[in-house]
Amino acid sequence: MNDDNKNQELDNEIDEALSNIEELKLSGSHKESIKEAEKLLCDDPNCVSALEEIADNYVSLDQFDRAEKACERALKLNEKSYTAKYILGFISSHKQDWPKAIGFLKSSNDIHSNNPEILRCLGWAMFNSKKRTQGIVILERALNLDPDNSLTLCDLGICYLQTKDFEKSVELLKHAMDIDPDNKRIRDCYDAAKGFKDRYLKMNK
């Protein structure tokens, strides 16, 4: 077997392993997904995709310190890993470190533009850093790219609630609730927005 064929076979094996890791992650088997990604790293210590998957799984397990370490290692291998930057931005946003979150998310978006999930997190961080108009514009862009994303609908609904556009807030949150009726955060936000809207209408009769 010549070198080209060997390399192709190795690439196929890595792709197959990554596909299995992704499937385990999506099925909620995060610990098993991490184990498989670690096995891949033993074979290929420079596999950035495996580190990204490890980080993503640790985020789902709320183990942010471990996720950050995996992202930092990924960025040392590839400074243009938009996934690692996105995850670091997401974690910073979760910690309400808005300037840090915006820095990572903007950098991620510069590398991989028009990704609705990156834009959703960036818009939310911008809104919460008191750049409200800019945040809403970015969230609207994320929604245009992925119109039935319940998380984007919810975030945008909360933003409009805070800017006292109750009509728009209720509309977005109702749509989010129709898509994801079991999501407690969405339902609570919808109930709050509807309550504010009803009181506002009574006051202005």
pLDDT the model gives residue 2: 52
Positive or negative, the CA dihedral 101, 185, 130, 108 is: positive
Computed on alpha carbons and rounded to an integer, the radius of gyration of the chain in Å comes to 20
Q: Which stretches of the chain score pLDDT less than 70? A: 1-10, 204-205
3-state secondary structure of 58: helix
Domains for the chain: give ranges and CATH numbers: 1-79 (1.25.40.10)
Any idea of the CA torsion for 109, 74, 61, 22, to the nearest 10 degrees? 80
**Chain centre distance of CA 100:** 15
Contact 125, 93 (CB under 8 A): yes
pLDDT the model gives residue 8: 64
CB atoms within 10 A of CB 60: 13
Nearest to 57 by CA among 45, 77, 71, 42: 71
pLDDT the model gives residue 141: 98
Contact 127, 156 (CB under 8 A): no
pLDDT the model gives residue 25: 94
**Chain centre distance of CA 86:** 7
Q: Which residues contact 40 (CB under 8 A, 6 or more apart)?
A: 14, 17, 18, 21, 47, 50
